[in-house]
Structure 1
Amino acid sequence: MNLYTREPTSDTLGVLETAALLRALTAGLIAVDDFDEAVAELVRIAGDVPEVAWCGFTTLRAGEPAGVAASDPRLAELDDLRHGRETPAMTAIARREMIIAQDLADDDRWPGWTERARGLGVRGVISAPVDVDEQVIGAINLYAGSAGTFATRHQLTAMLLAEHAGLLLAAVRDRARQAERAGERAGALLGESVVGQAVGVIMTQRGCPAPEALEVLRSAASSLDIPLREVAERLVTSVSRPRES
């Protein structure tokens, strides 16, 4: 027997499972630039936490109605704030701390919510606050189908998920803002007469849409190391110059 070989403990397996979960979450959200799509992917992936029956996410965005998503559509209705703000998620957000209910049958903190939750088969919940940016906060909610399911490792997983999700969702919002600004810049460029004309020429020559034609123009400007407007002027001049007979 090798005295230096030990069987993996449940704690070790929990760490490995959590690491795999965070990797999957990163892979799932790293290329997304739509916030709602990212949240939907988040709850789908987090719903695979061992012994967790469902996962939900509650979002509060400045100036907008609260948003909810869940790995099971029925659970999205559970945290819809039109039913009231007395929920584990809102408590976690308000207190900025993790909230745990091991057995909803013995918990009277959110009477209305608990009644709806138990009707949906929820017996326990962990809600962890998620900080995204100055405009968005939320909570990730892990639901158990049996009382007493949650152990220390589930609390640690919820904490790590919340921290990781906050970073990833902040990056998603940043990418969306960058894409919006790029679109505005492209719109402004297309609005310029000579650039718009040059884009029209490329669209005609290549049979491509305006964004692709603009990208061709930008690539030419970068390769030649001259301003975009000058490249556009050269192109328009070249096609408008009378051909020699």
Structure 2
Amino acid sequence: MDRLNHTAPTASVLPVEPAVAATRFAELAVELHDSGGVEETVEAVVEFALQALDCSYAGIALAVRGRRFEVPAVTDPVVAAIYESQVAGGKGPLVECMAGHVTVRVRDTAVEERWPEWAERVLGLGVRSVLDVPLTTAAGALGVLGLYSTEVDAFGADDEAIAHILARHASIAVATARHEASMAAAVDARKLVGQAMGILMERFDVDGDRAFAILKRYSQDTNTKLRDVAQQLIETRQLPR
């Protein structure tokens, strides 16, 4: 197993056909820009990975709250099984990559000694080599791009260089998609709260401040998100018990 410094690749290590690589990345950039959300974004990335890199499978695991992962896109159930085994056990190259923000390469799972239980399980799935690349932005770690091959030592310097560029594209696209989704959810929540406040103001003849205070109190007393309290009030005309 190799731990590799997360340094940006230079043009000199790009594939032999740079024009083709440049065209593919340009097409990917457009596709990511047009993606409708996080799931569509990561699906585009993993599909591109299969085309541009010498790998049998690919997947993306994204970090969520509580030091957990979610797996929004994989090219095969094999990848989901590999991810799930690491998430459950808390050990493996995926965890190492995420925690240390470093690229992790496993040349051969048959002789991997760092995570013997994980290696045995992955070898049983027919995977012989792994390349995990961190997805990061200036704000911090987002997740991991995982590349898997049924061949021993399948990932060389060129593959790593392309993977880093792909990870950079993916990081920006995922961060943008998440931000847009968060903003959309915030706008939606404000609309719901506003509608719920209107109902309370009309029913109980209170002003806006008092109506918001009522919603907030019910949210705290029932340990329910303010948005959900508002949604329930709008749908049922009743506050949570």
TM-score by length of 1: 0.65
Matched, 1:169 2:169: no
Change in Cα spacing, 1:99 to 1:16, as seen in structure 2 (3 Å) is farther
Structure of higher CA gyration radius: 1
Match of 2:163 among 158, 164, 182: 158
Tell me which residue corresponds to 1:78.
82
Q: How does 1:202-213 map to 2 (within 5 A)?
A: none
Kept in 2: contact 1:24–1:45 (CA 8 A)? no
Distance 2:111 2:17 in 1: 28
Tell me which residue corresponds to 1:227.
none
Secondary structure (helix, strand or coil) at the match of 1:66 reads strand
Kept in 1: contact 2:107–2:153 (CA 8 A)? yes
Secondary structure (helix, strand or coil) at the match of 1:131 reads strand
Higher relative contact order (CA 8 A, sep 6+): 2
Tell me which residue corresponds to 2:214.
none
Gaps of 5+ in 2: 1-12, 199-241
Tell me which residue corresponds to 2:114.
109
Q: Post-superposition shift, 1:116?
A: 1.6
Aligned length: 185
- Residue type of the alignment partner of 1:50: L
Q: Post-superposition shift, 1:64?
A: 7.3
Distance 1:16 1:52 in 2: 21
- Residue type of the alignment partner of 2:167: A
Tell me which residue corresponds to 1:26.
29
TM-score by length of 2: 0.66
Distance 2:15 2:34 in 1: 30
Distance 2:19 2:122 in 1: 30
Aligned-pair Cα RMSD in Å: 2.8
Change in Cα spacing, 1:11 to 1:160, as seen in structure 2 (3 Å) is closer
Match of 1:98 among 78, 84, 103: 103
Kept in 1: contact 2:53–2:162 (CA 8 A)? no
> Among the aligned pairs, what percent are the same residue?
25
Matched, 1:183 2:188: yes
Distance 1:76 1:182 in 2: 33
Change in Cα spacing, 1:50 to 1:84, as seen in structure 2 (3 Å) is same
Secondary structure (helix, strand or coil) at the match of 1:79 reads helix
Matched, 1:42 2:45: yes
Q: Which moved more, 1:20-29 or 1:143-152?
A: 20-29
